[in-house]
């Protein structure tokens, strides 16, 4: 497959099935394109089967299936570039989103932020150093040098919706430049100037919020933009489609976002503000716990904009704001969790983000890089930060602590908290918040797997914490060989007995099948996850020796669309032999009318000296199943 031109292959397959108009739906699984054709007679199966890169063609389950092998995601992506079908983010794509809605939201936001994490971390450090320079009087606030440096450090945060528009458009399959135009409108100076006012659009009244530095509004806007664009591309005449689609997308999405997302956010934020204000009068410790625990959550959803005006008003009328005090443990507890990740994670890439993020969080209260690049993706550090912030927030609120000036909650901002309430209680509560978040993350947070270096090897810690090559812990039995372990417990079955002609023929490679007696599926080798289907039914792994192994749970189970499967790994993750890949519900699989027979094949068999199945009869996961000679 190395010499195959994937764009040409996709084009030839498209022509071979009768063109784009003959395709009603297109998806892919771990090894094959799955096309639902309008007229099956128009497809030339024999011609497609002869194409370079195609293993075989089969008709099954009402689908025209083109078996490509491990490179099917690339072919599918190319298909998306020349037709309205395919693409990297198909419903049958490889990005797992299993779990509840909140987990799906975390995964989505983390993926969208991932491409800008390094600039975001750099900007956070930049802001921290500028704050330090200002605090020590090295830079005067009104000096032009300060203005220029502030613009350089703050532009990414201020225009964050523009940057997110690019990455969100990739994920939601929307036009990137149209998405940027929508984001630009949200942070347009005249729109920003309307912040907090009542306006109208064609006579429809709405409240205007501040969209600078916001996250959720642009994500919602681009998500809807993708659907709108795909609809317009189908219904508009081809002669006007190219310029009319972005025109209508901008004309519809900008007003729609301003009329819906902004007012909804303001409504929720005002309700939250009223509730917390009442809580401070009734039970300060409870209000402090709420603010200390969930401040960063409010920031993520933009709900903090309803609280900031109350804080500013309290400072201007009373000379202080009690609502600001719990923000100090809220921010520093999340920063402490980042610091623990920086010290304990086995992923060098994660540590490189976590360390500067913790520094900018502690010093200047800039937590965005760490929240979106560390705590939120890993979940547990975020939860531990919430726990620490809630405990610390309750303590500082009970001590009557307050801020006499509006400052970023950070170590540099501490002087603003010294004049009202008990400063000692503030330090105690903040210290406890830091300790709780740090210790919980340090001892119970995710360790992650080591990163793969440019040579394809990895560094893993030994029992004492020292670095040792991951190859020392892989499944190589002797030099020049790799032992592939059984992924499930059950009864081994010869590959030729599998009721799927692609696997049974050995076209996908040599291996074995196992009729499972348990619901857990484990990694048969140590290596990198190269394929992790969204549907949770198939996983492709590659060892450091170059052995490629496919674990396929069930026959034709892609049609279950993820029901009955729970992924435990993601694409790009390092795994050790025996580590959990997924769990399946065998009852659901059988009730849906499918076989739960789990197939394991070495997909690059042709490039290896020998692939010899070892198992027969009953077998337990983790025992040798296939011997590979390199």
Please name which of 508, 517, 561 lies closest in space to residue 536, comparing C-alpha atoms.
561
Sheet holding 32-37, edge to edge: 23-28, 32-37, 63-67, 56-60
Q: Kind of pairing, strands 598-602 and 617-619? A: unpaired
The answer to whether the beta carbons of residues 262 and 206 sit under 8 Å apart is yes
For the question of residue 304 being annotated catalytic, the response is: no
**Burial, 140: exposed, middle or buried (Cβ in 10 Å; 0-12, 13-18, 19+)?**
exposed
Q: How far apart are CA 419 and CA 135, in angstroms?
A: 18
CA 73, 79, 85, 89 torsion: positive or negative? positive
Please name which of 593, 590, 574 lies closest in space to residue 519, comparing C-alpha atoms.
590
Phi, psi of 136 (to 5 degrees): -90, 5
Long-range contacts of 294-299 (CB under 8 A, 24+ apart): 294/330, 294/386, 294/389, 294/390, 295/326, 295/327, 295/330, 295/331, 295/389, 296/330, 296/331, 296/334, 296/367, 296/371, 296/382, 296/385, 296/386, 296/389, 297/386, 298/272, 299/367, 299/371
Q: How far apart are CA 545 and CA 527, in angstroms?
A: 9
The answer to whether the beta carbons of residues 353 and 409 sit under 8 Å apart is no
For the question of residue 537 being annotated catalytic, the response is: no
Around Cβ 603, how many Cβ atoms within 10 Å? 23
Around Cβ 512, how many Cβ atoms within 10 Å? 23
Phi, psi of 59 (to 5 degrees): -110, 120
Residue in the block written with tokens 């029992």: 463
Q: How far apart are CA 435 and CA 497, in angstroms?
A: 58
**Burial, 10: exposed, middle or buried (Cβ in 10 Å; 0-12, 13-18, 19+)?**
buried
Catalytic residue among 28, 29, 304, 346: 29
Catalytic residue among 28, 304, 537, 552: 552
Our CA dihedral for 323, 328, 331, 336, rounded to 10 degrees, sits at -150
DSSP string covering 359-393: HHHHHH---HHHIIIIIHHHSHHHHHHHHHHHHHH
Q: Which run of H or of E encompasses 113?
A: helix 101-113
The answer to whether the beta carbons of residues 189 and 277 sit under 8 Å apart is no
First to last CA, the chain: 19
Q: How far apart are CA 475 and CA 452, in angstroms?
A: 17
For residue 625, give the DSSP letter: E
Q: How far apart are CA 382 and CA 337, in angstroms?
A: 7
Residue in the block written with tokens 């190395």: 2
Using only the alpha carbons of the chain, give its radius of gyration: 28
Cα–chain center distance at 499: 36
Q: Which run of H or of E encompasses 8?
A: helix 6-16
Question: What is the length of the chain?
Answer: 630
Q: Which run of H or of E encompasses 131?
A: helix 117-135
Please name which of 427, 340, 365 lies closest in space to residue 127, comparing C-alpha atoms.
365
Q: Which run of H or of E encompasses 27?
A: strand 23-28
Our CA dihedral for 374, 442, 358, 285, rounded to 10 degrees, sits at 100
Active centre residues (catalytic): 29, 552
């Amino acid at each position: 497959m190395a010499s195959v031109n994937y764009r040409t292959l996709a084009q030839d397959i498209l022509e071979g099935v009768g063109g784009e108009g003959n395709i009603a739906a297109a998806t892919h699984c771990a090894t094959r394109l799955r096309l639902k054709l309008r007229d099956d007679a128009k497809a030339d199966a024999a011609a497609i089967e002869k194409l370079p890169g195609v293993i075989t063609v089969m008709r099954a389950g009402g689908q025209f299936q083109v078996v490509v092998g491990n490179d099917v995601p690339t072919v599918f992506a190319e298909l998306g570039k020349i037709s309205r079908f395919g693409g990297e983010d198909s419903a049958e794509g490889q990005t797992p989103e299993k779990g509840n809605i909140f987990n799906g939201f975390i995964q989505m936001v983390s993926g969208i932020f991932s491409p800008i994490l390094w600039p975001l971390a750099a900007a956070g450090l930049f802001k921290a150093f500028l704050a330090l320079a200002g605090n020590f009087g090295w830079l005067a606030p009104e000096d032009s040098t300060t203005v220029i440096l502030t613009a350089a450090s703050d532009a990414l945060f201020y225009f964050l919706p523009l940057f997110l528009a690019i990455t969100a458009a990739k994920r939601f399959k929307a036009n990137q430049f149209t998405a940027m135009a929508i984001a630009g409108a949200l942070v347009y100076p005249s729109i920003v100037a309307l912040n907090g006012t009542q306006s109208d659009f064609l006579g429809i009244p709405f409240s205007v919020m501040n969209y600078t530095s916001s996250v959720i509004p642009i994500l919602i806007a681009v998500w809807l933009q993708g659907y709108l664009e795909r609809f317009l591309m189908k219904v508009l005449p081809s002669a006007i489609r190219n310029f009319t689609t972005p025109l209508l997308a901008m004309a519809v999405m900008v007003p729609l976002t301003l009329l819906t997302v902004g007012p909804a956010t303001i409504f929720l934020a005002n309700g939250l503000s009223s509730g917390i204000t009442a809580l401070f009068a009734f039970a300060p410790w409870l209000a402090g716990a709420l603010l200390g625990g969930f401040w960063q959550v409010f920031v993520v959803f933009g709900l903090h904009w309803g609280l900031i005006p109350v804080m500013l008003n309290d400072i201007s009328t009373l000379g202080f704001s009690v609502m600001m005090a719990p923000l100090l443990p809220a921010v520093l507890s999340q920063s402490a969790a980042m610091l623990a990740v920086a010290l304990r994670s086995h992923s060098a890439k994660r540590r490189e983000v976590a360390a500067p993020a913790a520094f900018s969080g502690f010093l200047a209260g800039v937590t965005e890089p760490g929240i979106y690049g560390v705590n939120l993706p890993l979940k547990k550090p975020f939860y531990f930060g919430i726990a620490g912030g809630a405990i610390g927030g309750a303590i500082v609120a009970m001590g009557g602590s307050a801020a006499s000036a509006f400052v970023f909650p950070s170590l540099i901002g501490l002087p603003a908290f010294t004049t009202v309430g008990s400063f000692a209680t503030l330090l105690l509560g903040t210290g406890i918040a830091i300790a709780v978040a740090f210790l919980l993350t340090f001892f119970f947070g995710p360790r992650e797997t080591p990163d793969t270096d440019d040579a394809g090897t990895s560094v893993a810690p030994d029992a004492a914490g020292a670095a040792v090559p991951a190859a020392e812990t892989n499944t190589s039995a002797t030099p020049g060989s790799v032992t592939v372990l059984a992924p499930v417990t059950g009864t081994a079955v010869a590959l030729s007995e599998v009721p799927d002609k692609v696997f049974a023929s050995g076209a996908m490679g040599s291996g074995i099948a196992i009729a499972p007696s348990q619901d857990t599926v484990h990694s048969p080798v140590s290596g990198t996850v190269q394929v992790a289907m969204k549907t949770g039914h198939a996983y492709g792994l590659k060892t450091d020796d170059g052995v490629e192994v496919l674990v396929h749970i069930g026959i034709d189970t892609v049609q279950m669309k993820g029901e009955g499967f729970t992924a435990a790994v993601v694409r790009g993750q390092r795994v050790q032999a025996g580590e959990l890949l997924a769990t399946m519900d065998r009852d659901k699989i059988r009730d849906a009318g499918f076989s739960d027979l789990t197939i394991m094949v070495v997909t690059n068999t042709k490039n290896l000296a020998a692939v010899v199945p070892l198992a027969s009869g009953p077998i337990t996961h983790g025992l040798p199943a296939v011997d590979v000679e390199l």
